[in-house]
Amino acid sequence: MIAADKVASDVASHFDRMKSEGCSFADARLYDEDSSQRLVLYDGNLESNTSSIERGLGVRVLKDGAWGFAATADLAAVAACFDRALSNARAAAHLPGFPKDMGLPQPTTGSYRSPVQKDPFEVPLAEKLAFLKGIDATLEDKTIAQRIVWAAFQRRKIIYWNTEGTEVDRWVSNVFATMMAMAPDKDGRTHRRSVELHGDGTGTRGWEWLTEPKWFSGHADRIKSELAEVLAADPLPPGRRDLIILPGQGFLQVHETIGHALELDRILGYELSYAGGSHVRPEMIGKLRYGSEKLNCRAGKHQNSPGTFGFDDEGTPQRDYMLIDGGVLVNVLSSRTDLGEANELAGREVFTESGSAARATSFYRTPIDRMTNISIDPGNDGTLDDIIAATEDGIIVDVPVSWSIGSNREHFHFGTEIAWEVRDGKKTRVHKNPTYQGHTLEFWRSLDMVGDQSTWCLQQVANCGKGEPNQVMQLGHGVPVLRFKNVQTGEKE
Ligand SMILES: [Zn+2]
């Protein structure tokens, strides 16, 4: 195996060669290790156990305002990889488009390590399966038709270099898990209740996170009994009412109607053919009232989240910054290369620095603008009980079962696993088949209560998809309990 040190010296010599060929910038990412494992139990039986290990190099060169990218798993062929990237940049330079520009150099050195006490890849398979089977056994019940428990683990060691002298390395550990119970109601329609591994944004990202009962296994009894309540419940009658969103649903509301809408490459139209566009335009920065004054949304750096990685795939140290401040849109998710184009479109300098959101899913994919931790700051409207007590006519919803979002993220429709009715300040009966819908800006402007820190929860996203070829990305959302006024809920017959 060719050592990382040898790759580093090869890359340095080819950086010099690319500069002599007229490239204004070049970078390289060595995935020294990219390991993953996924275990899936169906009804207590091991349905799949898949593992992968990858190692390779991805190279970008910038010449005449155009990117060229190439990748190789053959680390004896670094020269050919740079040649291919250069050839691709030369070809791309003939295509129409706004010239790419990295802006001012920002040489950086550093290291990032995910906090881990017990590396999941060091845990024996038998111990992993015993843990998952223990959860499955708790879910087992004659009323439940199907049970799914799965866990996935990632371990990545990535070294990044560029022609500005940047050298950063990262060891990233991710753990994901879901448990789900499903059963048909008296009409034969299947319902489900589930929970994912979640947290409070602190702590560690190793095996010890997964096995801490309060973040995962301790919820099995609860979802089983809640599913029984859903099966016995009446459908949610349609109507406009207040909507209280728990973090298990709030994360997807943020993901789909704030996160994706604020990715600069979508705003500029580069994702139109697959992921879609955005209702946001560069000139709206600093002006658009995205939500009520209660809405404070940031690209955060919570210690314990798959959206925390130290340095992005352009070597930019991860930033913690506001996207929406007091309801006003103030920034977006960006990398370095498109800021000039966005500023020209805005007719003024709306962006001065990268949002540290350039992320690639593997060595053989080029970085694109991705979510990091897109989180809502806790508010000062108290606990969940306080918010319920202040609600006359509403519902509480948790965990998505279906979602449909406008291609520019301008409107949405969600179905959730469960809804609890709130009447005169009290949580009452459960309803099945809850749904709600709205227009993104109108909806966020109707946000009138934001729960305190006790309601804030970090939810993980294991499989955000974007880009062509597709790139699956991992990230996090920290969300408090949120209340929205007068929302359209339920389906009209
Ligand atoms: Zn997504």
Distance between CA 261 and CA 409 in Å, rounded? 6
How far is C-alpha 410 from the chain's CA centre? 19
pLDDT at 274: 86
The pair of structure tokens assigned to 363 is 């060595």
pLDDT at 320: 98
Ligand 1: centre distance to CA 250 (Å): 14
pLDDT tens per residue, range 317-334: 999 999 999 999 999 999
- At 48, the amino acid letter reads S
pTM of the entire predicted model: 0.97
Label residue 275 by pLDDT band (50, 70, 90).
confident
How far is C-alpha 169 from the chain's CA centre? 21
pLDDT at 491: 81
| Mean pLDDT of the region 126-151 | 97
Helix axes 125-139, 220-231, angle to 10 degrees: 30
Q: Is 310 left (phi over 0), alpha (psi -120 to 50) or beta?
A: left
ω into 469 cis (within 30 of 0): yes
Ligand 1: centre distance to CA 247 (Å): 16
Ligand 1: centre distance to CA 416 (Å): 17
Ligand 1: centre distance to CA 233 (Å): 31
Label residue 248 by pLDDT band (50, 70, 90).
very high
Q: Which domains can be identified in the chain, with CATH numbers?
A: 4-232 (3.30.2290.10), 235-489 (no CATH)
The pair of structure tokens assigned to 47 is 């349905």
- Residue 228: CB atoms within 10 A of its CB come to 17
Give how far Cα 318 sits from Cα of 27, 166, 199, Å: 18, 14, 21
Question: Residue 412: which of 359, 312, 488 has the closest Cα?
Answer: 488
Label residue 493 by pLDDT band (50, 70, 90).
low
Label residue 412 by pLDDT band (50, 70, 90).
very high
pLDDT at 2: 96
Ligand 1: centre distance to CA 392 (Å): 34
Ligand 1: centre distance to CA 362 (Å): 17
| Mean pLDDT of the region 248-268 | 98
Ligand 1: centre distance to CA 325 (Å): 22
Ligand 1: centre distance to CA 429 (Å): 32
Q: In the predicted model, is pLDDT for residue 27 greater than 80?
A: yes
Please provide the average confidence, as pLDDT, over all residues in the chain: 97
The pair of structure tokens assigned to 163 is 């022609």
Ligand 1: centre distance to CA 464 (Å): 4
Q: In the predicted model, is pLDDT for residue 273 greater than 90?
A: no
| Residues with a beta carbon under 5 angstroms from ion ligand 1 | 464
Question: Residue 389: which of 488, 249, 489, 483 has the closest Cα?
Answer: 483
pLDDT tens per residue, range 36-68: 999 999 999 999 999 999 999 999 999 999 999
- The DSSP bridge pattern shows strands 358-359 and 368-369 to be antiparallel
Give how far Cα 74 sits from Cα of 1, 5, 12, 366, Å: 10, 15, 17, 18
| Mean pLDDT of the region 340-356 | 96
Structural contact between residues 57 and 78, judged by C-beta atoms closer than 8 angstroms: yes
pLDDT at 311: 98
Ligand 1: centre distance to CA 33 (Å): 25
For the four alpha carbons of 186, 418, 252 and 410, in that order, the dihedral sign comes to positive
Stated as kind and residue range, the H or E segment containing 92 is helix 78-92
Q: Is 342 left (phi over 0), alpha (psi -120 to 50) or beta?
A: alpha
Ligand 1: centre distance to CA 256 (Å): 7
Q: In the predicted model, is pLDDT for residue 84 greater than 80?
A: yes
Local structure of 271: helix, strand or coil: coil
Ligand 1: centre distance to CA 87 (Å): 32
Q: In the predicted model, is pLDDT for residue 3 greater than 80?
A: yes
- The DSSP bridge pattern shows strands 374-376 and 297-299 to be antiparallel
The pair of structure tokens assigned to 267 is 């705003």
Q: How far apart are the first and last CA of the chain?
A: 64
Ligand 1: centre distance to CA 466 (Å): 7
